[in-house]
Every structure is written in structure tokens, then in C-alpha cells.
Amino acid sequence: MAMILVTGGCGFIGRHVVEELLDNGYEVRVLDALIDQVHGDAETAMPEAAEIMRGDVRDKTAVKRALLGADGVIHLAAEVGVGQSMYEIARYVGGNDLGTAVLLEAMIGRLPKRVVVASSMSVYGEGRYENADGAQLDLVRRRGDQIKAGQWNLRGADGKVLRPVATDEEKPVDLASIYALTKYAQEKQVLIFGEAYGVEAVALRLFNVFGAGQALSNPYTGVLANFASRLANSQPPMIFEDGEQRRDFVHVRDVARAFRLALEKPNAPGHVINIGSGQAYTIAEVATLLADAMGVPEIRPEIMNKARSGDIRNCFADIAKARELLGFEPRFKLENALGPFVDWVRHSAAIDRGAEMKRQLEERGLVS
């Protein structure tokens, strides 16, 4: 029976990955720092069959102990959140980039067969677009003056609005936030290390992950959890820009299965692979779906008509590569899978810190 080390395995995604591995016959060891902002009482929710080691991924001694006997590694440990990364820069670079470097250095001399790292759709910056002639554009950005003027949509050289299309892995990266920078560094470190040391390495670029178990009181976690915390406290979800920006929402159980497949499939090593639902939703649509599911349809979202520094307009996944290399097919759609998430919210202490998050960003000039 193979033993897999999961760094950050007590987090939202990590707990589902651990359950997926245990259900499929793996032994699992978890290394997690159990940071209060992210975890709360997550440690008590872990499956009994998993071995839990508390430790920071930047602590080489703790990492070496955790690696003993590991046949594979799933590296999830990371600081998460675009907005917070723009002012807690050292924290994000230290936790994500230095943490990955320490993990890889500790592997030398005790090499696992395969390592799978969690990357992020944020590395793309804006997703792919087409102009009026149907030509695809790889690298497009909004200018600061356009955003300040409330011109949210991207336009081509002819001034016409560009059409967002699904983003595949061939789209060049365009790093628009410190968080994106650190996630790209994580995936490149792992792939370079794998090539140099003969370790099979895979990077999964995760889109917006949702499901029961998200940290509801962390305003820098996923947008659904943020909206749910507001709605649970009878407050309207706060939506930046005009609410028409589009994202891909993928269920955490689909993500957990993708990590297992990335450990197992022979053609995955050496690749970066999108993990999403392949569907696009506007943020305003998501807020309305969630309010309806929570039984508070009268609470409509608050459209801020302001932008956060580091945010992009549109990005949703082309998952053809995941289908080809992993045999991955999403089993859950956002509109049909909110029930368990809503049940989780109703039985959890959802502290609304959305206003605090907005204030912190505004004080630093990161909202315009």
C-alpha cells in the first residue's frame, strides 16, 4: 500500500484529498501548520486513519520527518488569497515559495516517485479572448485609467469589446498579483526539480473551488464562502466591479479526485493541467444562486462599482487536457451542488469579515 504525504492536508481542499486517498486504499500522512485564519477546528474533523503531524512546511526538520517512507507527495500547503497577498507580501512569498523550496530540498536523498503541486488559475491573469474577427488574443490587460473610469470590459485596438473564451494551458501566464506570482513559482520549482532528479512531477491549476468545509470566517478565501458569510449574517454579498465578471467554479470533491488521478495516471508527469468545471458563471449570478439556495432571495448583492488591485475580469477553464491525461470529468455543477454547502453554512459559525477585508484593502489604496 502506497503512503502519500499531503502538505496542508488539514485545509479545505486537503481534507477532501485525504478522504479521497483513504477511500482508494492509500495510507496518508498530513503535515499542516494549522493556522487559525484558515483552519479553526479543522484538526478534529480529520479522518482517524490519517496520520497528522503539526509543522510548518518551512521547517526542514519537520518536513524531513514527514517525508520518511512517503511514496508520493501532494503539496497543498500555501497562503491563499489575491487581495491579502498584495500587502502581506513577505508572508505569501515565504509560505508559498520558500515553503516549496524547503520541501523540495528535503526530498533530496529520499525521493518520492511522484509529486503533485496545487497551482492556480490566477497565473493566467486575464483568460483568453477573441476579437470581433474571431482571432484569439493571448495577453490582454485593462489599464489603470480604464478601471478607474469604470470601463470594466476589455477592448481591442479597434475599441470593440473583446469576447472571453475558455482558457487552455497554452495561454501564456500574465501575473497580476503577488499570489499569482507565488503560485507560478511553486509550480515551476516542482517541475524543474522533477526534471533534474527524475521525480514524476505534475502541477494542477485549480480554478475557483467550492464545497462544504470552507473557512467561512476568512474573507480572503473563496468567493462562495465569502458570500455565504455575508448572507448568513443578513448582509448583502459585496461584489466588486459590476458583477458581470466570469469565473469557473469547481466542486472540491472533483478537485480531490483530480489530485488522486494526477498521482496515478502515467501520462500526467511533466504537465500543468487545468482543473475546473468547464463552465462560466458571472459573479452576480453566483450571488443570486447562493441567496436562493440559502432561502434569502430578498438579499440582493451590493454592486461596489470599484475594482481591487490584482483582480482580473474573466477567466474560465478549458479542461480538455485534464480529460485527456487524467480521464477527469466533473461530476458536480454549481447550480446543482449548493445544497450540502448551504447545510454546512447553517451548522457553522460564519463570522462576517467582509467589511473588514474591504477596509484593509482601501486603507492601502488597493481599491479604485
Rounded mean pLDDT, 330-359: 77
| 61 lies in some domain | yes
Residue 363 has pLDDT above 90, yes or no: no
Mean pLDDT check: name the lowest of 58-62, 246-250, 336-340.
336-340
What CATH number is attached to the domain comprising 338?
A: 3.40.50.720
Q: Catalytic: which of 124, 129, 179, 184?
A: 179
Highest mean pLDDT among 40-54, 66-80, 352-366: 66-80
| 344 lies in some domain | yes
| 124 lies in some domain | yes
Mean pLDDT check: name the lowest of 8-17, 55-64, 78-87.
78-87
Residue 36 has pLDDT above 80, yes or no: no
How high is the pLDDT of residue 360? 56
Arithmetic mean of pLDDT over the chain: 89
Confidence of residue 250 (pLDDT cuts 50, 70, 90): very high
User: What range defines the domain where residue 200 resides?
Assistant: 3-363
Residue 57 has pLDDT above 80, yes or no: yes
Domain count, the chain: 1
pLDDT in tens, 196-223: 999 999 999 999 999 988 776 555 557 8
How high is the pLDDT of residue 34? 86
Q: Are 83 and 357 in contact (CB under 8 A)?
A: yes
pLDDT in tens, 66-102: 999 999 999 999 998 887 888 899 999 999 999 999 9
How high is the pLDDT of residue 41? 43
Mean pLDDT check: name the lowest of 18-22, 178-182, 200-204, 303-307.
303-307
How high is the pLDDT of residue 42? 42
Catalytic-residue membership of 179: yes
pLDDT in tens, 115-131: 999 999 999 999 999 99
pLDDT in tens, 132-189: 889 999 889 888 888 888 899 999 888 899 999 999 999 999 998 899 999 999 999 9
Mean pLDDT check: name the lowest of 82-91, 102-111, 245-254, 269-278.
82-91
Phi, psi of 323, rounded to the nearest 5 degrees: -65, -45
| 94 lies in some domain | yes
Residue 29 has pLDDT above 60, yes or no: yes
Mean pLDDT check: name the lowest of 91-95, 233-237, 288-292.
233-237
Rounded mean pLDDT, 323-347: 92
| 368 lies in some domain | no
How high is the pLDDT of residue 43? 43
